[in-house]
Structure 1
Amino acid sequence: MAQMKELANKIESAYSIVVLTGAGVSTASGIPDFRSSQGVWTYDRSREYYMSSEYFYKDPVDFWAKYKDIFRLKLLKNYEPNSVHTFLRNLELSGKQVSIITQNVDGLHATAGNEDIIEYHGNLNTATCPHCQSKYALEYVMKHETPYCDKTGCGDVLKPDIVLFGDPITKHEEAEQRIRQSELVLVMGTSLLVTPFNILPDYAAFTCGLPMAIMNREATPKDYLFDFVIHDDLVGVVKHLSAWM
């Protein structure tokens, strides 16, 4: 508890905060954690192949069937931000500059009201035509078993706006820029197993020399980098932090 109170003081005294978030932030909203020791990918590694750019171009019809099932798209609009999202929004409302760099593709940080969000792995709420770059909302995607571009003369199968396995990461430099501009880095709800997202804490520690805290239910391979290490349920963690701020 002493560490938690010290961290609360650190957060309260900082103006510019970068928060790196992962699936553990959204589990209280009912969204599965894909990367924990109990996560979806742990039990079926073939899903990584089916959710790859290679498989999308090989068999886009079957890709969409599996994609909608794995990411539970029918339920996406039923999910709401939880107290962890609200905690981060409240930091912003208190006058702090809060930048969120998230692995999550559910869009819940935006729904909660945070304004500066880097969706490192994209977003489930839209899809784009690879040919003409027309963008479509989730409502359109869900109306069609396999969503095609409806623009005249096009008709390509839409590609979801998430980073599939094999796709390039386009947000890394932007994420590093936010870290350089911050006073404090919080890492919440991520196992830090996915590259290159998991090298962002190294950048913050070794290049920028920033104070950092990690809050995750389980230990991670990067815990040694952090000044504060808290292994607990995030809902309980933010409740305690809020009480001391």
Structure 2
Amino acid sequence: MYEKLKEIIQASKTIVFFGGAGVSTESNIPDFRSADGIYEKKTYPYPAEYMLSSDFFYANTEAFYDFYFHEMLYPNALPNPAHTALVRLEKQGKLQSVITQNIDGLHQLAGSKEVVELHGSVHRNYCLKCHTFYSLEDILKQQPKVPRCPKCGGIIKPDVVLYGEGLKEETIHKAIYDIAHADTLIVGGTSLAVYPAAGLLQYFRGKHLVLINRDATAMDLRAELVIHDPIGKVLDCVVEK
């Protein structure tokens, strides 16, 4: 299977990578839906999905940030072999973009230049009142309190897509364009259970669809190649150094 993926990469001119939480698990950032994922934690009074909703953010901001600071932020995490392999593929001129559902910024930290962040980023934060930008470091300095704008006192909100919020239109358009113009789409580290992000795969009209994920997905039967191995191991092996 690894040799087959190498052949596909070598024959491809326009590759797009579509990734999810499984890309970052090898950087010790937990995913959401596995047995030891964030959604299985029993230490909070509400389901994790509800605590990550816009309704909960506005109604229970203090409790939201208690969860967010403890479960969603990993400022010391470093890129893993999956991230660095994608950087190599981009430098070779084959990878056109990374489309990620992750909010951790590890693709950019590794050196990827073309990254479409479907669900936003923990590294961007905005005052709801005056719209001043704040970095991740800025809001971490205020924990465990609710981060507030030093200028106007307004509440600072992470620029991440919470449940109940829509994806940014320009982000969706960019992702659709990239997927529609790729001859190879490599999907990795995602259960393809989160919509509308997972629905973007319907726009792929290229030649090679490759799925790399620890567990089976609903798209496995549509793919030319399916590999159920750790994504860092796979990409590090098949992308030339």
- TM-score by length of structure 1 reads 0.89
1:77 to 75, 87, 91: 75
Counterpart of 2:237 in structure 1 is 240
Q: What residue identity is the alignment partner of 1:20?
A: F
Is 1:223 matched with 2:217?
no
Counterpart of 2:48 in structure 1 is 47
Q: What residue identity is the alignment partner of 1:147?
A: P
The Cα shift of 1:209 comes to 4.4
1:105 to 103, 106, 110: 103
**What SS does the corresponding residue of 1:177 show, helix, strand or coil?**
helix
Change (3 A) 1:224 1:42: farther
Cα deviations by residue, 1:61-87 (Å, 9 ceiling, x for unpaired)? 22111211121x3xx231111111111
Alignment check: 8 A CA contact 1:52 1:164 kept: yes
Total equivalences in the alignment: 234
Counterpart of 1:6 in structure 2 is 4
Counterpart of 1:23 in structure 2 is 21
Q: What residue identity is the alignment partner of 2:135?
A: A
Q: What residue identity is the alignment partner of 1:65?
A: D
**What SS does the corresponding residue of 2:115 show, helix, strand or coil?**
strand
Structure 2: unaligned runs, 5 residues or longer: none
Counterpart of 2:182 in structure 1 is 182
1-side partners of 2:68 and 2:141: how far apart? 15
Counterpart of 1:143 in structure 2 is 141
The Cα shift of 1:43 comes to 4.7
1-side partners of 2:22 and 2:32: how far apart? 9
In terms of fraction of residues, the more helix-rich structure is 1
1-side partners of 2:103 and 2:236: how far apart? 24
Counterpart of 1:166 in structure 2 is 164
2-side partners of 1:120 and 1:25: how far apart? 15
Alignment RMSD: 1.7
1-side partners of 2:239 and 2:128: how far apart? 44
Cα deviations by residue, 1:23-56 (Å, 9 ceiling, x for unpaired)? 1111111111113354221455711111110011
Structure 1: unaligned runs, 5 residues or longer: none
Alignment check: 8 A CA contact 1:202 1:225 kept: no
- TM-score by length of structure 2 reads 0.91
**What SS does the corresponding residue of 1:19 show, helix, strand or coil?**
strand
2-side partners of 1:147 and 1:188: how far apart? 34
Alignment check: 8 A CA contact 2:19 2:98 kept: yes
Counterpart of 2:195 in structure 1 is 195
2-side partners of 1:94 and 1:87: how far apart? 11
